[in-house]
């Protein structure tokens, strides 16, 4: 596995992007809305991974709830794996808890989330990219 991205929940995506771009010295940024997850995402490309800033797109978004209870900050880390279904099966066999089944993410990826209680407080996404 490798770290695919680190995701940060923010109140105002456009403001946060400007600040992150300035601090990190990054010009290019891609925006993407994942309506099924209730988020709009700004992707900042680093050498071998990405930082994703996320804002809620609707009241029922899980990000909205997160921001209200925890405030802005680290939301999840994402680990890339080649065969996500195999990893999920292996982990479930070891008692790991998941938030939802493997499902389509952005850009043809497949994603699911490991419950933070299974990883000492860190919400962790598993993702696999299309070949």
Q: Which residues bind Co ion (CB under 5 A)?
A: 7, 78, 125
How far, in Å, are 7, 17, 18, 75 from residue 23 at the CA level? 17, 10, 9, 20
The one-character DSSP state at 46 is -
Q: Give the CA angle between residues 124, 125, 129 to the nearest 5°.
A: 150
C-alpha–C-alpha distance, residues 98 and 111, integer Å: 11
Q: Are 76 and 113 in contact (CB under 8 A)?
A: yes
Residues 6+ apart with CB under 8 A from 46: 24
Indicate the residue among 67 and 95 with the shorter CB distance to Co ion. Answer: 67
62 vs 85 by CB, closer to Co ion? 62
Q: Which is nearer to Co ion, 7 or 9 (CB)?
A: 7
Alpha carbon 6 to chain centroid, angstroms = 6
The distance of closest approach from Cβ of residue 125 to Co ion in the complex, given in angstroms and rounded to an integer, is: 4
Q: 9 or 78, CB closer to Co ion?
A: 78
Least separation in angstroms between residue 79's CB and Co ion is 10
What is the smallest separation between the CB atom of 109 and Co ion, expressed in angstroms?
9
Q: In the complex, what is the shortest distance from the CB of residue 55 to Co ion, in angstroms, rounded to a whole number?
A: 13
């Amino acid at each position: 596995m490798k770290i695919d991205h680190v995701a940060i929940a923010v109140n105002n995506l456009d403001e946060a992007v400007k600040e992150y771009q300035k601090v990190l010295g990054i010009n290019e940024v891609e925006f993407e809305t994942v309506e099924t997850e209730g988020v709009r995402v700004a992707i900042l490309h680093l050498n071998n991974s990405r930082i994703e800033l996320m804002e809620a797109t609707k009241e029922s978004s899980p990000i909205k709830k997160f921001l209200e209870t925890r405030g802005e900050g680290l939301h999840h880390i994402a680990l890339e794996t080649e065969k996500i279904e195999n990893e999920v099966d292996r982990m479930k066999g070891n008692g790991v808890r998941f938030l939802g089944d493997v499902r389509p993410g952005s850009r043809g990826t497949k994603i699911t989330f490991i419950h933070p209680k299974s990883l000492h407080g860190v919400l962790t996404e598993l993702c696999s990219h299309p070949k």
